[in-house]
Amino acid sequence: MQLSKLEKDTKLGRSELLWAIENLKQNGLIDASGRETASVELSDEGKRYAASQLPEEMLLGRLEKGAIKLADLKSREEQIGIQWLRKKELAEIKNGMLSLSAKGVEAVASGMGDGDMLRRLAKDPKSYDSMSKEQKEMVSALASRKLVRVERRSELQIVKITRKGLAADLSEGERSRVDAVDRGMIAGRQWAGMSFKPYDVNVPVDDARIARRHPLRRLIREVKDAYVSMGFQEMHGPAVESAFWVFDSLFMPQDHPARDAQDTFYISNPSTLKLDDAQFVRYMKRSHESGWHEKWDIDAARQAVLRTHMTSVSARYVRNVIKRMLLNEQLYEMPVKLFSVGRTFRNENIDYKHLADFYQMDGIIIGKDLTLSHLFDTLTKIYRTLGVEIRFRPSYFPFVEPGVEYLAYHKASNSWVEMGGAGLIRNEITGIRKRSIQVLAWGAGIERLMLMRDSSIGSIAELYGNGVGWLRKRRMI
């Protein structure tokens, strides 16, 4: 009888059934045959590379166009790619230049087996036992890099009763044997003279319900890794902020609809916050009154709010960097690349892609002669690393000129969904008018990115449910 049918007929839990089978087997009352199976699972890093490319694949594609200066390969991903290209003898270094070897030229034409295998496993994680010898060698190579792991387990398949079992009388004999010892039995020496059932540590048991990271927390970690791999540094800021840094510092007029109570959460205690940078406050006052032709109210700027976007954090950092540059107090190596990830709050109507409390990522690049092409290239690479394809279209935001928004394809609704806004920060904000220094900026929601990556999620509200069963059924992405 198959174990699955026996489990259904007896209505016993799987652990109870396995214990009973092993007990009867040791007494020669039944025969139980089994087999060892193995399966391949991708690690978080393996899944990230499967969604894009292995580091060496990425470099191999670039080397196809010509040799690259080693000094230009500074990111963590590029350094990993160099190591594996050299280990696989696909590239060589001469006079500070990295170029393809003869073997590398062949690999460009035929493709890289390790990368193809990783992507195949992500789409179809077939049993390790059914793989060819060559495929198993590829899996072993990926396992040595901790991109995959081979899980082996023993499973009972067939259970049948023996002749001894058919003739056995289990009414008394088994009852006198002890299978567990408790505190009272030890204290009262009741175990003396008793017969104990043997214990076999090799008995197969149910998989343990191990702890796992929430899918949203894992995605946030992936987002941070994607930014860091491209040379960005993380920035932090307060969740309770003044309206000045959330709105005014971003050149948003004081009568803008986004500043209404219907869209923004205002704090009653404290109701106002102190504005420390008096020079910048005066500068933004002049910019607002000359740009929007309205009287600017400092009391409105002091109002305490829950930040509506992570750009308030970026605004503080941009101001700090630009201020030091203008005063020649600190020279920065251009470009300055910063990002932030944190919770933001908006008085939204809840639907499948909107929440009142959600995570947002924000990025800025401060550098010389920056254009929209640099912005498009950076965002495309970041989202490609996260397994999402994006496209751009013109849009308007008060704090950037020109401005764009970028969209990703949502399979469940068969539509392109807005991910975030981006552009070049206006000179009215940076205060730099005569220098060739620009600031690129963008922001997007993390939960909406989860929707794009996992079509099984119908609404981002699911990410904040309290059902443990939902979490246990999630893919380990």
Residue 464 lies in a domain: yes
**Same structural domain for residues 419 and 457?**
yes
pLDDT in the model for residue 155: 64
Mean pLDDT across the chain, nearest whole number? Answer: 82
**Same structural domain for residues 316 and 230?**
yes
Counting the structural domains of the chain, the total is: 2
Contacts of range 70-78, beta carbons closer than 8 Å, 24 or more positions apart: 70/96, 70/97, 70/98, 71/96, 73/98, 74/231, 75/229, 75/230, 75/231, 76/228, 76/229, 77/229
* Domain end position, chosen among 205, 229, 251: 205
Q: E strands, 262-372, where?
A: 304-306, 336-345, 357-368
CA distance 393 to 452: 18
**Same structural domain for residues 140 and 225?**
no
**pTM attached to this predicted model:** 0.56
- Residue 30 structure tokens: 């039944």
pLDDT digits (tens, 9 = 90+) for 341-354: 999 998 877 666 67
Contacts of range 315-321, beta carbons closer than 8 Å, 24 or more positions apart: 315/245, 315/249, 315/250, 315/429, 316/237, 316/245, 317/235, 317/364, 318/364, 318/366, 318/425, 318/429, 318/430, 318/439, 318/441, 319/249, 319/277, 319/280, 321/366
For the residues of 269-291, what is the DSSP string, one character each? TT-B-----HHHHHHHHHHHHHH
**Same structural domain for residues 176 and 220?**
no
pLDDT digits (tens, 9 = 90+) for 83-99: 888 888 888 888 888 88
**Same structural domain for residues 338 and 374?**
yes
| Range name among 149-158, 304-313, 329-338, 418-427 with the lowest pLDDT average | 149-158
**Same structural domain for residues 165 and 220?**
no
**Same structural domain for residues 229 and 194?**
no
CA distance 426 to 438: 9
Residue 117 lies in a domain: yes
**Cα radius of gyration (the chain):** 31
Residue 459 lies in a domain: yes
Q: Which domain holds residue 458?
A: 216-239+307-472
Residue 269 lies in a domain: no
* Domain end position, chosen among 184, 205, 226: 205
CATH number at residue 317: 3.30.930.10
**Same structural domain for residues 330 and 182?**
no
Residue 285 lies in a domain: no
**Same structural domain for residues 230 and 320?**
yes
**Same structural domain for residues 192 and 317?**
no
**Same structural domain for residues 232 and 125?**
no
> How many percent of the chain have pLDDT more than 70?
86
**Same structural domain for residues 223 and 132?**
no
Environment class of 106 (CB within 10 Å of its CB; exposed 0-12, middle 13-18, buried 19+): exposed
CA distance 145 to 118: 12
405 pLDDT exceeds 80? Answer: yes
pLDDT in the model for residue 48: 86
Residue 439 lies in a domain: yes
147 pLDDT exceeds 50? Answer: yes
Residue 50 lies in a domain: yes
Answer for the pair 12, 20: CB distance below 8 angstroms, yes or no: yes
Question: Which has more pLDDT, 215 or 477?
Answer: 215
* Domain end position, chosen among 148, 181, 205: 205
pLDDT in the model for residue 172: 47
373 pLDDT exceeds 50? Answer: yes
Residue 246 lies in a domain: no
pLDDT digits (tens, 9 = 90+) for 212-258: 788 888 899 999 999 999 999 999 999 999 999 999 988 888 888 87
